[in-house]
Structure 1
């Protein structure tokens, strides 16, 4: 069956000059102009560092994007994921025609609505109602078409009380609510959304994701979605692109894309130790080591997993307790477990051990946040995602079943089978 391609990116590259705005020198400008009038490409397209923000470059030019190629089908929801600085937002700006590519071209069929930053396309001096009509006109809609959707837009945004107030008086959350409602309800063929939804509260994010699912599945419209919320990406997207240093490193199934992204982002440190002078904490107490152990020092679902937290208490009679939180690689909070034993401690070194029972965590990647809490339940130190593990299995539990076994946890619940006499 022939594919219905609605958006196509061909050899998209974007080059920026580091440091000063513009080309920086008159000689560069003249050189570019001389090549242009002779029908040749800019000589500076042949140079440039890759887009790695963590390293110091040797050249004045950097490729924010380099040779990006992909196609998007009508009705597809494409997730674009990657670390900060990977080029995701630059790509969306090019797709939305906010900025032009240095090389390559974008081919699209239909209207594109973009939500890249809070209040994109809004006039702060105009009211919310007036901005709805303004944005609709920019999308090529008639006043009659906009008016037919007006009540739905206002109701969805939750800004009915302020709809006739200038947008400059809106909070960032209200602005993004209205901007999303306009972009979603004015029925563009392609909806492009950056991380901006994170500004909204949990209720609105849930509504927004539900709306995007509806417009793609029922309306047959295409969505391009960038987010660092992996749970939202997984629930919404059918396909994923992983970007790294301005390149597309993977294009395919969304589950595979998420696995590759999390593998690239994770350094699986399962133990860490500090000298007392450098240890995290304060004058009350400091954490000196964190260690994760399984019975066989390999994190199988069939084994207990233990986390040991060593700390030094500096004050006589101090009430200290350790806490842990666990998140999976989709940033879903799995559990939090405080150590509720709070007894006065003498000055000295202590160890708290928490046991995660076997057959509890499902296979996957997990991150541990460790906290040390003081006398009045104030946080002495909080170490986010300080250690990580990957839980695997040897297959003993499956009893011959080798299909997908979903869920964040996979406890060995007690079952009883018995015959009922008729």
Structure 2
């Protein structure tokens, strides 16, 4: 049994929030002086502005062993960042205790841990000193940190002049390279380009492979599935699920499915929608062939989309695009386009179409939906887009076998193509072995 790296018992964090209704959150000194007699009178009468308590965390308990890679997932406001701030000793808990066994490297948010007036070089040595490292230990990792962050040209420039991308690259490089026993990473994939995100994931895999403990907070469930072996789901500051990453993500996706695509998560949410308003999706449903609504399918299943739309302005026909995004890079991995009609569509017209994706042979993972409806001529004006809909489409490995050389234990990539092997040249000492005859790959339909 591995040694304990982190033990959390009954952890809770409470914040006080002022409930000053009708009052500006910030006022000038003159305004405060003018309002002082009134505020003192209200306080004497017991009618002063009340304070509301907000529990960011409440009764959180778990234990993490050395070498575990734990993904912390949950919706915005669930308490994920607050938990990491307590574990990294930035914030004190209101109640409970957290025991940390080992040196911590933390990348929480831009602006945490660096002094803006110091240069990149000075901040690297300062961060190492805070971790208790000797100067010689920091110097041994210095070149690797600078190379990873790609800031060698600006390493002697005060970091207050760094861009947010440069700052984040250097912060992650310092956190990952200064040999922490425990690495805490909060939403590192939300900043930076695709190349930086890929580099960060690779480095975290290296750290995990060295037997060190990693805490990874992310909304990117595909990255959590790839990197982590255990998942903890937080809801309203409490632990809602704690187990293998697959089981925890299953609970998380079930919570999203229970919410359905409603005003908060999809069709009526302006944050997920863009377009002209000439045509609008009015309902979205993902179903199996029996018509039952669900969002989890096995490889090789048929996925059915039932889409309703309403025309609000004259349209020259209608076309619909259904696409799946990669949960990792947000790139569209597959899409289909269907012309519903090329006839003139008048305002007030509503219709529902059914689009099937048969034998969907993509790797296990979460795939957010991208839906687009427009004129049949692909007008740049009359269109409606729903992007990154919740819940995502979930593909599990419990479907039909793709082909003979499919390896379900290492589901890398998005698609799995059949392949075949031939021996182009026999080894000299094995010339008497029978030559391998090429054969057609066997695909299970």
- Whether 2:374 is the aligned partner of 1:373: answer yes
Cα displacement (A) at 1:257 = 0.9
Tell me, yes or no, if structure 1 residue 382 matches structure 2 residue 385: yes
Please give the alpha-carbon distance, in whole angstroms, between the structure 1 residues aligned to 2:204 and 2:399: 41
Which range moved further: 281-290 or 127-136? 281-290
Quote how far apart the aligned CAs of 1:173 are.
Answer: 1.1
Equivalence for 1:198: 190
* Structure 2 CA distance for aligned equivalents of residues 92 and 208 of structure 1: 18
Local SS of the residue matching 1:60: strand
Check the 8 A contact 2:57/2:79 in 1, yes or no.
yes
Query: What TM-score do you get using the length of structure 1 for normalisation?
Result: 0.74
Deviation at 1:310, TM superposition (A): 3.7
Contact 1:118/1:196, CA 8 A, preserved across alignment: no
Q: Deviations over 1:368-415 (max 9, x none)?
A: 33212355445722123558687899x9967xxxx97986779999x9
188-197 or 240-249: bigger deviation: 188-197
Q: Which runs of 5+ in 2 are unaligned?
A: 21-49, 402-406, 420-438
Deviation at 1:353, TM superposition (A): 4.9
Distance 1:235 1:63 in 2: 31
| Structure 1 residue matching 2:112: 3-state secondary structure | coil
Show the counterpart of 2:18: 19
Matched, 1:133 2:136: no
TM-score when normalising by structure 2: 0.71
Match of residue 285 from structure 1: 279
Equivalent residue of 2:369, what SS? strand
Does the 8 Å CA contact 2:279/2:382 hold for their aligned counterparts? no
Contact 2:286 2:305 in 1 (8 A): yes
What's the counterpart of residue 326 of structure 1? 324
| Pairs within 5 Å for 1:298-313 | 298=292, 305-312=304-311
1:235: Cα distance to partner? 1.1
C-alpha distance in 1 between matches for 2:392 and 2:188: 31
SS at match of 1:68: strand
In the aligned structure 1, how far is the partner of 2:178 from the partner of 2:65?
A: 20
CA distance, structure 1, for counterparts of residue 117 and residue 352 of structure 2: 60
For residues 305-358 of structure 1, what are the alpha-carbon distances to aligned partners after superposition, in whole Å with 9 as ceiling and x for unaligned?
254444427336x36432122258889767442526598642434665533124
What residue number does 2:290 align with?
Answer: 296
CA distance, structure 1, for counterparts of residue 303 and residue 205 of structure 2: 39
The verdict on how the C-alpha distance between 1:363 and 1:149 changes in structure 2, with shifts beyond 3 A counting, is: closer
Q: Indicate the SS of the match to 2:118.
A: coil
Correspondences of 1:227-242 after superposition (within 5 Å): 227-242=218-233
* 2-structure distance, mates of 1:113, 1:396: 40
Change (3 A) 1:404 1:150: closer
* Alpha-carbon distance in structure 1 between the residues aligned to 2:177 and 2:399: 51
Distance 1:293 1:5 in 2: 44
Alpha-carbon RMSD: 4.1
Query: Structure 2 CA distance, aligned partners of 1:222 and 1:351?
Result: 50
State the match for 1:120 in structure 2.
112
Q: Is the 8 A contact 1:280 1:287 kept in 2?
A: no
Correspondence for 1:165 among 146, 157, 166: 157
Deviates more, 1:237-246 or 1:339-348: 339-348
* Matched-pair contact (CA < 8 Å) for 2:103–2:182: yes
Query: How big is the shift at 1:130?
Result: 1.3
The verdict on how the C-alpha distance between 1:135 and 1:94 changes in structure 2, with shifts beyond 3 A counting, is same
Residue 111 of structure 1 is aligned with which of 84, 103, 106?
A: 103
Partner of 1:357: 358
**Cα offsets for 1:198-242 (capped at 9, x unmatched):** 212111111111111112212x22111111111111111111111
Q: Identify if the C-alpha distance between structure 1 residues 267 and 328 changes in structure 2 by more than 3 Å, giving closer, same or farther.
A: farther
Give, in whole Å, the separation in 1 of the partners of 2:363 and 2:334: 16
Report matched runs for 1:22-421 at 5 Å. 60-218=52-210, 220-267=211-258, 269=260, 282=276, 284-290=278-284, 294-298=288-292, 305-312=304-311, 314-315=313-314, 318=316, 320-327=318-325, 335-339=333-337, 341=339, 345-348=343-346, 349=349, 353-358=354-359, 360=361, 367-374=368-375, 375-378=378-381, 380-385=383-388
The alignment of Structure 1 onto Structure 2 pairs a total of residues equal to 372
Cα distance in 2 for residues equivalent to 1:391 and 1:189: 34
